[in-house]
Amino acid sequence: MTKLSVNINKLATLRNSRGGNVPNLVKSTKDIEAFGAEGITVHPRPDERHIRYQDVSELKDVVTTEFNIEGNPIPKFIDLVLETRPTQVTLVPDAVDAITSNAGWDTVKNHDFLSDVIKTFKSNGIRTSIFVDPDVNMIEGAAKVGTDRIELYTESYATEFPTDPAASIAPFVAAAHAAHATGLGINAGHDLSLDNIKFFKEHIPHLLEVSIGHALICESLYMGLENVINMYKHKLV
């Protein structure tokens, strides 16, 4: 069964829009785990427009499942991860002004940088994952920098899926086979939803984990958080 990690950034965005502490991220995290999620994902950005660095510090002793911290490995982020020591760190090449993640790493061009960062995290017992496009060359590059896993950036799949499911999934199937052949674990995320997650799961071999936030929270506005989490889990079996 593929694990579901719930990204709680959107809950932080809602809280920040009003000030105060509603919704309370500590309580929300405990509830999400109680509802069946196998992991919690946070993605702090330098401007702290949703998850704040202080949130991560407060959550490190709360999360009882897998804790996944995503972000661009700038010095402040690296320090936060080393202080928190999550189960997994996912490296994402975010520009400072990016609204959301919009590209995977060029693992060839950034080989030396990624190798150094990954070595630091792994020496501290933190599993590493790299956000990549479904490009076999980039996946082979990821294997060479020493990462444990890749996270397939699935926006193109989600965009194409409604009109051509077979075409939308094809590059991801090839990417998954390439990753498995090099010994990399396979995660996935970005714009996955209840509409497209089952097809993705059925066609991607060796899929260990998906990280879902925006769609899951939006769907929960209509159907309830507990219901939606279990709907995802049913589709990921």
**Long-range contact pairs involving 51-55 (C-beta distance under 8 Å, separation at least 24):** 51/8, 51/9, 51/12, 52/12, 53/80, 55/12, 55/25
Give backbone dihedrals phi and psi of 91, rounded to 5 degrees, phi first.
-90, 125
Active-site residue set: 43, 70, 190
Instruction: Write the CA distances from 192 to 106, 173, 212, integer angstroms.
Output: 22, 16, 6
Q: In whole angstroms, give the CA distance from residue 57 to residue 84.
A: 6
Concatenated DSSP letters of 10-50: HHHHHHHHH-TTSS-HHHHHHHHHHTT-SEEEE---TT-SS
Q: In whole angstroms, give the CA distance from residue 18 to residue 140.
A: 44
Q: Based on C-alpha coordinates, what's the Rg of the chain?
A: 17
Cβ(206)–Cβ(180) below 8 Å: yes
Q: In whole angstroms, give the CA distance from residue 11 to residue 28.
A: 8
Report the greatest alpha carbon distance in the chain: 48
